Structure 1
Amino acid sequence: MYARKNDKYQPPNSYDQDMMCSNENASSDHLYTLQDAHKDFKAILKKLDGNSTMDFITQLREHLDTIDIESPSHNADILLKSISEDLRNHPDLPLSAVMNSELIIHPSTGEFAGLEPGSVVNVDKFLYPDDESIDELCEQGKLSRNYCVQCGSHQVEPLTFVSHSASTQQMKYLFKDFLPDLHDKTVIDVGSRLGVVLYHAYHYSSASNIIGVEMNPDLCGLQQYILQKYSMEDRIQVTCADIRTQAYLLKKADVLILNNVFEFFLNVHDQKEVWKFLFENYRKSGSYLVSIPSIAESLAPLGLILDVNTWVKEFPISMKGRVNISNEEEEEELSCIHLYKVL
């Protein structure tokens, strides 16, 4: 607060006169514009002394706090929730958010390699973002948090939930807080699946071209359905292809996003081939690469050695003072985002 509150403060008499003049100027043949309001506001401030100016601004702030103004961000949140609900209720999308036509490959390397395949369950973070939504599934008998190690016994272990989609929290902070302004820029999401990254890029950034590359035709059709229903085709397009056939697209990209994109969908050999392809073809200097998890974490289990230091430079993402983190889970989610700049 700039100054003490003065409930008895009254504007000087000239204030009313100025406003009367302003209203006279705004004749029936002249619409009162934002520029007019700005001009009158500056005129009012010039006629107030220092202390009165502070009191006036304080009262103005208090008045603005009482007005319910829906921001573009608020509207975007509502639309994204609606998209999430539409996807949850789509008849062709199973509860697991994995299409029947998809081939899911349980990782043979990395953190999930030692787990029983049956103990790893996909719970999509965009569709079921919190414990409350997961609890609701459990109460409905559609999901369990545990599995029986030995059928018929009381020996149970917790299931491991994984998500093949980024969360709204991750995407909101990525596009609103971490990446620079993307006006006239092209964003490409590799393995766009349900289109989650695309929808967030549309609503939380000014990116002119947003492209999803997805090789499963059913998922491409699902994304196209959402794009048409929510009128997002003006800035989003979906390319149904293997990224390894899209070298020309990579040369156009200003931001390339890789979100848990290969581990559950490609065997080790193909994962290596894709990383080599990206290393050789995504070379536009000054462009950005977003990887969840980090490039190093992705390459290590594959035993693949690439001279990453000659390709990209990582920018540490500092969340301090930039985002409000309400719990450890949110902090962990955001810490998974790694931002690089192509050299």
Structure 2
Amino acid sequence: MERIVYLEQESMIATVRRPAFAHAWVEYPATTADQVAERLRGASIAIVNKAPLPGAVIDTLPDLKMVAVAATGTNVVDLDACRRRGIVVSNIRGYAEQTVPEHVFALLLGLSRNLFAWRETVQAGRWQQATQFCLFDHPIRDLHGATLGVVGAGSLGNGVVRLGEAFGMRVLRAERKGAASVRPGYTAFAEVLAQADALSLHCPLSEATRHLIGEPELRVMKRSALLVNTARGGIVDEAALIRALHEGWIAGAGFDVVSAEPPPVGHPMLDPALLALPNFILTPHVAWASRPAMQALADQLIDNIEAFVAGQPRNVVT
């Protein structure tokens, strides 16, 4: 009988059906890093989301056969350690291909149309004091006709491309940074940075993508450009981004992620002076979290586990 341990039941709001095979099911609302090893002792299948599963912990779990990641990103799991042990790691794919792109465009529209600055203007009483029917305090830009750069070619990046084209934007798919050649349908990474009026990031966090966008890249971008990151916080050098926003290297940024989540007290991305900027929007990693998307994630999670037990693992990353 399989022993399934779900470490972070409160990490999504959905109905998680039980697998259609004999099993023992144990779940915890949340799990800290120092609780992982003890709670997974004796488990043959682990369900994780953000709880870290490093090699040192994996080596203490001789019964572990599968790690079912309740997310697309697998950076919390030591994949090399799993490969050495023959542990199957499966992730979730495609469940957020509507909700994340919609969030990207919510951020882009909020920034390009200066919604937060306009809200503050109305709250301050400026409209009531106007001598005509409208105000011109803040610039408004249209997405139509603007150039959108998209980094990442998975379902989320493709969803952003689809919406960008629907808005009438010129869309450039970025080739991998440092690539020796450019694939058909793609544009050199540096060229995308230089041309984009808006740049949206949709690549996984790895050693190759850590600080993919740093000071050199931010300085290459247009001063009128917007940067959106709904992928992972570490993809952008946060210190460089903060300087870019305060010093005007780019026009604005919309982020749904930071480098440490939940962010500790004093995290630089939560500095009140930064959050007060009308050209910076930070949301708490919720781009993926529409109710339909979370239910699709939960259903696929159990599909992955059932497929593994049936001897036909799917969405395998190891």
TM range (shorter): 0.3 to 0.5
Give the number of the structure with larger relative contact order, counting CA–CA contacts within 8 Å between residues 6 or more apart.
2
What TM-score comes out, normalization by structure 1 length?
A: 0.35
Bigger radius of gyration: 1
**TM-score scaled by structure 2?**
0.37
Q: Which structure features the higher share of helix residues?
A: 1
